[in-house]
Chains A and B, each alone.
Chain A
Amino acid sequence: MSVGLYIHVPFCLRKCLYCDFTSYPRQEEQVQLYLQSLTAEMVLYGDRLDARHKSIKTIFVGGGTPTCLRPEYLAGILEQVGKVFSIEQGAEITTEANPGTVNLPALKELRAVGFNRLSLGVQSTHRELLRLIGRIHTFSEARQAVTEARIAGFENINLDLIFGLPTQTAAQWRQSLHEIMALQPEHISCYGLQLEENTPLTKAVEQGQLKPCPEEEELAMYQMARQLLGENGYQHYEISNFAQAGYQCRHNLLYWQNQAYLGLGPAAHSYLNQSRWGNVEGIEEYASLVKQGQRPVAEKTTLTIKEQMEETVFLGLRMLEGVNVESFQQRFGKSLQEIFGKQVSSLTAKGLLEQSFGHLKLTEKALPLANQVFAEFV
């Protein structure tokens, strides 16, 4: 069975104020160390994995900001993947990109070496909001990036947006949605802002310098996105994701369907052979471990069957379609009803879950309260 491949590029020109992903300032020495070690890590897995796990159906290069690396570096990474693994015909190959770090030649090169999906972090279309969250680009740069990506031949583009920002109004959000749709991306992600611990934005909120977006307001923005995008041909298929027909992100679907993926690079996460593990975060530590021929793993857990079942349900429920009851039965040899009957009936009685077309799914009402449902399954 083939797997998904995630590659973490832990560099940014500047860290955004809300971000708690692992990323470091782009210093050439560090970049070189990272690239060498990444190659070494691939070789390590190349020696260890059996053939079926070396067959790759999706690749997702995320960060950080992959495109803060020179395009030939990203090309080199992809080339190396091709040497060690076998990339399936028609594989989805995505790179994330910051609109402030791409231009036409770079996009052409990325397209030419095999990237076929581009995920641009637009986040907002408002100058003051972009500034508030520490983005390095403007919306006109984002717009230009989309135009150039089309010229470069990208036929599958995602635009990321964030809502529920401090000071953001529903009117601003509506306008952003319209401006984004005008660019006609195939895929749109709308993430409700998450105030992560120890980020500058969170501190500003905690210290009272910024007022967090009220829950009611954020909920209204979410419903607005669902309605507007839905009316314009974007199917809401996961809590935060919308896509035109046939353009759902296949890599991310692997996560939600609880399928296998291998993560490479510092802080990347993997799920293979019923084990989950995360790599060490520091570049030096990462480099030194792979240099010694060791897997750069910080923590690893092997999941029990019960845990796999739980995760299959709470991840699957993220998809609007829900968990496929039949697939669950096939995968585990036991029915979802048998294992989780009690939770399902109590959550159904509360109007949070429903069954339709062979799937168990969140109700409309439960979508913004999904954690309340998920927590019942762990």
Chain B
Amino acid sequence: MATPQHRIRNFCIIAHIDHGKSTLADRILEHTGALSQREMTEQFLDKMDLERERGITIKLQAVRLFHKAADGEEYQLNLIDTPGHVDFTYEVSRSLAACEGALLVVDSSQGIEAQTLANVYLALENDLEIIPVINKIDLPSAEPDRVKQEVEDVIGLDTSEAVLASAKTGLGINEILEQVVTKIPPPKGEATAPLQALIFDSHFDAYRGVIAYIRVVQGTLKPGMRIRMMATQKEFEVTEVGVFNPRMTFIDELNTGEVGFVTASMKNVQDVRVGDTITTAQNPALAPLPGYRQVTPMVFCGLYPVDTVDYEDLRDSLDKLKLNDASLIYEPETSDALGFGFRCGFLGLLHMEIIQERLEREYGINLITTAPSVVYRVTTTKGETLEIDNPSNLPPVNNIEKIEEPFVKATVMVPKDFVGTVMELCQGKRGIYSNMEYMGVNRVMLTYDIPLSEIIYDFFDQLKSRTKGYASLDYEMNGYRESDLVKLDILLNGEVLDALSCIVHRERAYTRGRGLCEKLRSLIPRQMFEIPIQATIGNKIIARETVKAMRKDVLAKCYGGDISRKRKLLEKQKEGKKRMKQVGNVEIPQEAFMAVLSIEE
């Protein structure tokens, strides 16, 4: 039986990592009876193992719940889960656009973090009603009053009715649901108007094809309808519509204001883009819903199989991952050192790590990953503009008029005692100061323009360690700027190892080169001959180290006939070799290709 539109509430949860979003979602599911306690696997909404391990949400989920409110009526609540990481900001903005309200969950001892703030602004841009929830008040370190004040000062929200909650103990859950019903407006939208449904996520199912997660903004969607994707102009016939409650359940139709999924024998996630609008082929809407854009990868790296015979497997695995991840892009590339592989583009570093880890873990491929690079914009002396995502493709210096690199606007929130430290770090990373603002008495928000290449280098780790973990970071792309950049090459045994080339600022080249040589010397094990490691810019050698030849590798004794032990040692030794990449005569461990990321400067 369909719920009248005025008794539908669509909402999501905004929270910083670790502030308790997933636990809160679990409690809400439990409270509304969607899951019995016995059925609960912890944190139901985070489906993938990786997500659970990292405690973050990658894939969005939407769940339909029913809540019998204090007014005696039963309400349909659609809870849309959002990812909490800066790499996925666009996806967050689309899922916010599918809601009328949001729970702002703030940890009562930590206060607001940069990521939370960024998402609150996104929510406000989308005209969402925001309900502040002060979480983890059961902790001894909780300071709900201070945090409430901070929310008022920083965001300007009225917190007089903020819910004091503990997702862990279940405290405040009913109050949260009541406020969802009373404060968040019901969805607008004409039931009789031409169909407009917003796609806020999709995933690939081996049996059903792409399953699109949608919010019906106006009109009605039913099986059998011929639908059209307004951005891609692809048409499909709807097979099924349904909801997650939280299990996948098929229903007869999705009405105006409702959230659910649609399947239509769609074979390719590329056709079902997040942010796109679904309409009907017969009676299309005049215009798509606002806000659609195609996401572009920011970070690129090379992925190569350690063993060249795994190349085909790697391609198949990437194809499979791509089914589920429209933002992953890749194309074949070859490296003199590493052979055949792929250059892959990612939304950010986390996205990159997740893909690497899934390839290794789920598909069992032994990978070499080259250091991540951003996309440089090179203007040649002939006036051409080239986009360079692989440092080894940089044209010769003589042919370069200028190089521009992407910058981000980075927002750092930090206790005031660390302001000096953070400013020093930002300046050290070629950051350009833009703003500083006090947020309440103790905390400061700093804004800098910083090259993206510095952010992906080690900015976040440095930020965390220098501020004892107190700082939080958010960033958004902020255009290209010209920089004095050079290509740094690494020679092993006199041969350029293209996979280790990187583009660096001229003033950094010397320290970076020296650091890289030292790091490589420590990572490359001694082999039967001496291996010189050199860093060069153009033809000029700027640093040199040597891996000395191995002099001794022999077991003196047979351990009173314990040959099995000896055999195991030899097998281990051989296994270690297998994980190394043979380049020319030199065996190079996988981590060497990422060495540039872990140099201390």
Contacts and interface: CB of A to CB of B under 8 A. Distances in A.
Interface of A: 6, 8, 21, 62, 191-194, 215-216, 218-219, 222, 239-240, 252, 255-256, 261, 263, 267-271, 276, 278, 299, 301, 311, 314-315, 318, 350, 367-372, 374-378
Contacts of A62: 560
A263 B559 CA distance: 12
Nearest to A218: B552
Contact of B552 (A215, A271, A375): A215
Given A240-B557, A375-B570, A375-B574, A368 B552 contact: yes
13 contacts: A21-B559, A62-B560, A192-B554, A193-B556, A239-B554, A263-B560, A271-B563, A368-B551, A368-B554, A369-B528, A369-B550, A377-B570, A378-B570
A216 B559 CA distance: 25
Given A271-B563, A368-B552, 15 more contacts: A6-B561, A62-B560, A193-B556, A219-B551, A219-B552, A240-B556, A252-B558, A261-B561, A267-B560, A269-B563, A278-B564, A371-B573, A372-B528, A372-B553, A375-B574
B562 interface: yes
A375 B568 CA distance: 10
A372 B573 CA distance: 8
B469 to A, nearest CB: 29
Nearest to A4: B561
Given A367-B554, A368-B553, A314 B561 contact: no
A122 B570 CA distance: 29
Given A240-B556, A311-B567, A371-B555, A215 B561 contact: no
B563 A194 contact: no
Contacts of B558: 252, 255-256, 315, 318
Given A311-B567, A350-B528, A378-B574, A371 B553 contact: yes
A309 to B, nearest CB: 13
Contacts of A376: 574
A235 to B, nearest CB: 18
B465 to A, nearest CB: 25
Given A375-B570, A375-B577, A315 B554 contact: no
B552 A192 contact: yes
Interface hub of B557, B560, B564 (most chain A Cβ within 10 A): B560
A193 B559 CA distance: 13
A271 B550 CA distance: 33
Interface in B291-315: none
Chain B: number of interface residues, binned into ranges: 20 to 34
A194 B551 CA distance: 15
B42 interface: no
Contacts of B562: 269, 278
Interface string B561-586: 11110010111011001000000000
Which 8 pairs across A and B sit closest by C-beta, in order of nearness?
A215-B551, A191-B556, A370-B554, A269-B561, A371-B553, A375-B573, A219-B551, A375-B574
Contact of B560 (A21, A193, A350, A378): A21
Interface of B: 526, 528, 550-564, 567, 569-571, 573-574, 577
B525 to A, nearest CB: 11
Interface hub of B555, B557, B561, B573 (most chain A Cβ within 10 A): B561
Contacts of B550: 215, 369, 372
B194 to A, nearest CB: 70
Contacts of B555: 194, 370-371
Nearest to B562: A269
Contact of A276 (B528, B556, B559, B564): B564
A367 to B, nearest CB: 7
Contacts of A370: 553-555
Contacts of A192: 552, 554, 556
Contacts of B528: 350, 369, 372
Contact of A378 (B552, B556, B567): B567
A194 B557 contact: yes
Interface hub of B551, B556, B571, B573 (most chain A Cβ within 10 A): B556
A374 B556 contact: no
Contacts of A378: 567, 570-571, 574
A301 B564 contact: yes
A38 B334 CA distance: 64
Contacts of B564: 269, 276, 278, 299, 301
Contacts of A239: 554, 556
Contacts of B559: 21, 269
A317 to B, nearest CB: 11
Contacts of B560: 6, 8, 21, 62, 263, 267-269
Nearest to B585: A350
A218 B556 CA distance: 12
A112 to B, nearest CB: 26
B573 A216 contact: no
A215 to B, nearest CB: 4
A265 to B, nearest CB: 10
Contacts of B526: 215
Contacts of B567: 311, 378
Contacts of A369: 528, 550-554
B587 to A, nearest CB: 11
A270 B559 CA distance: 12
A240 B571 CA distance: 22
Nearest to B556: A191
Nearest to A311: B563
